[in-house]
Amino acid sequence: MKKKFKLEELDCANCAAKMEEAIRQIPGVTGASVNFLAQKLTLEAVDDEFDEIVKKAAECISRVEPDCKLILQ
């Protein structure tokens, strides 16, 4: 499954790169891309565990940049 999410309050391109790398390390993720300029996350992951993976991705984002929020488009 592949979905796009809006990232609110993403202030740093370096943080975006760190988020992308952290999300790619989550088991079940087959692809992740954070676009700093567009303020978007494209996440591709195993269908069965997608909701759980989204929660883990949100945790990764909060660890890197606490004010950033993940919003389903």
Judge whether residue 73 has pLDDT over 90: no
CA atoms within 13 A on the CB side of 70: 25
Domain assignment of residue 59, given as a range: 2-72
Note the pLDDT of residue 52.
97
CATH number at residue 41: 3.30.70.100
User: pLDDT tens for residues 34-63?
Assistant: 999 999 999 999 999 999 999 999 999 999
| Exposure string for 31-58, b = 16+ CB within 10 A, e = fewer | ebebebeebbbebebeeeebeebbebbb
Q: How confident is the model at residue 70 (pLDDT cuts 50, 70, 90)?
A: very high
pTM, rounded to two decimals: 0.93
User: pLDDT tens for residues 3-14?
Assistant: 999 999 999 999
Count structural domains, the chain.
1
